[in-house]
Structures are given as C-alpha cells and as structure tokens.
C-alpha cells in the first residue's frame, strides 16, 4: 500500500479513502475489547499522524506541527473517536444481552479484589468518553436502543 498512499499522482482524498478502507480496519481489529489508557491513546494518535505524514511526504525532521499536517491533509483526528464509538456500540450490545458478559462488564461478580492498583475497566473508559456523571445514565439507557444511539452520536460529535 506504500506505493498507493505516497503516490503524488493520486489525489489526497483518494489516498485518505484508501487509508480508511484498507489500513484502519487492520489497525482497529478487536478494538471493542481494548481498554485505552492515556499512553495507548497517545500512541494511536501518533500512528494516525505517522500515516498522514507518510502520505503527504512530510519527514519527521521537517518542523511542522500536527495541526499544520492535519490542515494540509484537510482532516481531523478521528481514529480514537472511532474506536470509542465502536466500543460504546459493542458495550450497548453486551448490556442489552444481559448474560454473563453483562455481569463481568459491570464488575458484579463474587470474590475479593486483587491487591495493588485496580485495572481500568471498560466502563471507566466509557465514563471518560461520555463525560463526568454519565455512567449512571448510561446504565439506565442501555435497554433503549434509540436513546443509546443518540448518546453515542452526541459524544462522537463532541469529539472527546
């Protein structure tokens, strides 16, 4: 794909479509089950910028900021937002199903907590994406599919 993505004779819009169709699905395979920490989010954003720099043939030694590269490509950062949207959609599916996955996702199973710092849960990531205080609303809205879709669409539009 390098020859197609870096070809100057192909328009940037076509190259961005090729990136979105052929590269991003491979990169995001299984992203519904990821827990995205700040470190992983930074790496995903750096990967997205690396793709754009390669497509525009802008070397790392050129002192161009990410904003200038995004403006030149006429694009917004969308990889992390797309991953969050897919996670929220999958989480709604799991919550509506109401079986073992539902209990595991909510963290309501018997036993003692392990020692040390607790692992980040999917619900924690969803809470940071939807905003503070939204987890209780989220758990109440998971049965209503239309309300769930509206919540996801609003969070995606905000770009958080």
For the four alpha carbons of 135, 141, 145 and 151, in that order, the dihedral sign comes to negative
Q: With bands split at pLDDT 50, 70 and 90, how would you rate the model's confidence at 108?
A: low
Q: To the nearest whole percent, how much of the chain has pLDDT over 90?
A: 20
In this predicted model, what pLDDT tens digit does every residue of 23-46 receive, in sequence order?
999 999 998 888 888 899 999 999
Alpha helices in the chain (DSSP H): 2-5, 12-18, 24-27, 38-56, 66-73, 79-97, 100-106, 122-130, 135-141, 145-158
Cβ 93 vs Cβ 32: under 8 Å: no
- The answer to pTM > 0.85 is no
Q: With bands split at pLDDT 50, 70 and 90, how would you rate the model's confidence at 105?
A: low
Cβ 73 vs Cβ 16: under 8 Å: yes
For residue 21, the model assigns a pLDDT of 92
Q: Write down how long the chain is.
A: 160
In this predicted model, what pLDDT tens digit does every residue of 6-17 receive, in sequence order?
888 999 899 999
| 3-state SS, residue 7 | coil
């Amino acid at each position: 794909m390098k020859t197609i993505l870096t070809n100057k004779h192909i328009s940037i819009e076509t190259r961005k479509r090729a990136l979105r169709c052929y590269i991003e699905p491979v990169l995001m395979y299984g992203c519904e089950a990821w827990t995205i920490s700040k470190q992983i989010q930074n790496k995903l954003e750096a990967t997205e910028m690396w793709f754009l720099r390669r497509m525009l043939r802008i070397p790392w030694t050129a002192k161009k900021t990410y904003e200038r590269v995004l403006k030149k490509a006429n694009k917004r950062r969308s990889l992390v937002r797309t991953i969050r949207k897919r996670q929220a959609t999958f989480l709604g599916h799991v919550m509506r199903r109401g079986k073992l996955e539902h209990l595991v996702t909510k963290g309501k199973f018997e036993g003692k907590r392990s020692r040390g710092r607790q692992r980040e849960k999917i619900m924690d990531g969803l809470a940071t994406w939807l905003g503070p205080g939204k987890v209780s609303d989220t758990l109440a809205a998971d049965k209503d599919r239309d309300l769930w879709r509206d919540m996801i669409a609003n969070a995606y539009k905000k770009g958080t």
